[in-house]
Amino acid sequence: MNSSHQFATRAVHAGETICGVTGALDTPIYQSTTFAFESADEMAAIFGEEKFGYMYTRYGNPTIRALESKMASLEGGEAALATASGMAAISSAILGYVRAGDHVVAARSLYGAAYDFLNRKLPRYGASAAFVPSARVEDFEKCIRPNTRLIYFETPSNPVLEIIDMQGLAEVARARGIPLMMDNTFASPALQQPLASGVTVVVHSATKYLCGHGDAMGGIIVGPKPYIADLSREIVRDFGGVISPFNAWLILRGIHTLHLRMAAQCASASRIAEFLNAHPRVERVNYPGLPGHPGHGLARKQMKAFGAMISFEVRGGYEAGKKVMDRVKIFARAASLGDTRSLIVHSASTSHRAVPREQRIAVGVSDGLVRLSIGVEAVEDLIDDLDQALAS
Ligand SMILES: Cc1ncc(COP(=O)(O)O)c(C=O)c1O
């Protein structure tokens, strides 16, 4: 398998080989914590990294390795590292660059725990972060200081679907010699490959679209080989946030259908966004596929499709948003995203309840904001479900 093969072919084949011993076509789950050696000399050579070999699953495992190789191929990166969760990927990837005294420039609209890690955890280690007051590249540039060691962002962002110019930001980062890190969870590599636009490192919650079925936690970091090797040794291995072989296998299997699920989910999301946009009980719809979305032009340029995440503001505020949640029958009231099932969450009463109201509203999370993750059910049924939930 090489990079000239198309995405769909690599989604199925990259990183996986037929077992030379048994002929097993599917990658086996190497559910073993440890690996044995032929001799003391062989063991010493592998521990001394003079020879490649598996020794202990926290240091590496063939099933996990297959997932890492597949993701390096799909993101077009030199190397990848799998972790126990998306947050393990984000925290490890940031700690791989940032030391005491360093500064991070970060987007204002981020997944809540990533925001919290940058805002409250980094200061414990003597580092700090500044959040850019807009999605504009020039405002990112204005926040850079002499000690800025990293720029961090998401596009589309969680939960307000803000779009940031990957290439424009990469040019600024490159000119200043600062690594640029992006969370590609919302789009997945089926819709955009940030490394090709000049982003240095991509992180993922593999729990979402990559797995796709809501049954395994995982994270992925893709980037330059020396950085990934150092991260593997110094952070993930020693802090211990490794993925289990079984979860790696579930995610590996999920990725086989990533392009098919994404195509179906994006098509349904476009129709649902249009339906919501025309609904009298809906104040505003955040979906980059709508021509009125401020990032529509950029999304058209840098994404293959507009994604399957939508957020919208129900007229009537906080209680109206919660009522829609209570009335849906097919959408599950659940926090995650990217699953085959459609999910709904009222941000102000759940994911953002700890964020002060003014701060929450400043980043677009208004009282009535409801976020949808569109699954693979029949789109007509999903529209009917929202219609009856918004009625009355
Ligand atoms: C955009 C984004 N990044 C990262 C994460 C964290 O992933 P995990 O829950 O796998 O740690 C999430 C979780 O919802 C997310 O939405």
CA–CA distance, 187 with 192 (Å, rounded to integer): 7
Q: How far is the CA of 291 from the centre of ligand 1 (A)?
A: 27
Domain locations along the chain: 7-30+61-255, 258-391
CA atoms within 13 A on the CB side of 342: 28
Q: How far is the CA of 186 from the centre of ligand 1 (A)?
A: 9
Q: How confident is the model at residue 109 (pLDDT cuts 50, 70, 90)?
A: very high
Q: Residue 110 CA: which ligand 1 atom is closest?
A: 1
DSSP class per residue in 95-110: HTT--TT-EEEEESS-
Mutate to test the pocket of ligand 1, among 111, 191, 221 (most ligand atoms within 8 A of CB): 111
CATH code, 258-391: 3.90.1150.10
111 has catalytic annotation: yes
pLDDT value at 2 more than 80: no
Q: Specify the pLDDT at position 145.
A: 98
Q: Specify the pLDDT at position 352.
A: 85
What does the pLDDT average to over 302-316?
A: 97
The answer to whether 161 touches 303, Cβ cutoff 8 Å, is: no
pLDDT value at 5 more than 80: yes
Q: Specify the pLDDT at position 212.
A: 98
pLDDT value at 281 more than 90: yes
Annotated catalytic residue, options 102, 165, 183, 385:
183
Q: Does domain 7-30+61-255 bear CATH number 3.40.640.10?
A: yes
Q: How far is the CA of 87 from the centre of ligand 1 (A)?
A: 6
Mutate to test the pocket of ligand 1, among 94, 109, 160, 208 (most ligand atoms within 8 A of CB): 208
pLDDT value at 114 more than 80: yes
pLDDT value at 108 more than 90: yes
- Nearest protein Cα to ligand 1, atom 10: 86
Q: How far is the CA of 147 from the centre of ligand 1 (A)?
A: 28
What does the pLDDT average to over 279-307?
A: 98
- Nearest protein Cα to ligand 1, atom 6: 86
Q: Specify the pLDDT at position 3.
A: 80
205 φ/ψ angles, rounded to the nearest 5 degrees: -90, 105
Residues with CB under 6 A from ligand 1: 85-87, 111, 114, 154, 158, 183, 185-186, 205, 207, 217, 219
Q: How far is the CA of 266 from the centre of ligand 1 (A)?
A: 19
208 has catalytic annotation: yes
Q: How confident is the model at residue 239 (pLDDT cuts 50, 70, 90)?
A: very high
The answer to whether 216 touches 255, Cβ cutoff 8 Å, is: no
Q: How far is the CA of 181 from the centre of ligand 1 (A)?
A: 15
Q: Specify the pLDDT at position 244.
A: 98
pLDDT value at 359 more than 90: no
Q: Residue 87 CA: which ligand 1 atom is closest?
A: 11
Give the H or E element holding residue 183. strand 180-183
pLDDT value at 120 more than 90: yes
The answer to whether 268 touches 374, Cβ cutoff 8 Å, is: yes
- Nearest protein Cα to ligand 1, atom 8: 86
Q: Specify the pLDDT at position 4.
A: 87
pLDDT value at 1 more than 80: no
Q: Specify the pLDDT at position 70.
A: 98
Q: Specify the pLDDT at position 65.
A: 98
Selection from 253, 218, 255 nearest residue 7 by Cα: 255
pLDDT value at 42 more than 90: yes
**pTM of the model as a whole:** 0.97
Q: Specify the pLDDT at position 261.
A: 98
Q: Residue 206 CA: which ligand 1 atom is closest?
A: 10
Q: Specify the pLDDT at position 206.
A: 98
Q: How confident is the model at residue 360 (pLDDT cuts 50, 70, 90)?
A: confident
Mutate to test the pocket of ligand 1, among 116, 158, 215, 247 (most ligand atoms within 8 A of CB): 158
Q: How far is the CA of 246 from the centre of ligand 1 (A)?
A: 19
Q: Specify the pLDDT at position 354.
A: 78
| Tens digits of residue pLDDT in 171-203 | 999 999 999 999 999 999 999 999 999 999 999
Annotated catalytic residue, options 30, 111, 152, 287:
111
The answer to whether 150 touches 94, Cβ cutoff 8 Å, is: yes
The answer to whether 93 touches 152, Cβ cutoff 8 Å, is: no
Annotated catalytic residue, options 58, 121, 253, 300:
58
| 20 compared with 224, residue with greater pLDDT | 224
User: Taking all residues of the chain, what is their mean pLDDT, rounded to a whole number?
Assistant: 96
What does the pLDDT average to over 238-252?
A: 97
Selection from 190, 164, 195, 191 nearest residue 179 by Cα: 195
| Tens digits of residue pLDDT in 60-95 | 999 999 999 999 999 999 999 999 999 999 999 999
Q: Residue 158 CA: which ligand 1 atom is closest?
A: 1
Q: How confident is the model at residue 345 (pLDDT cuts 50, 70, 90)?
A: very high
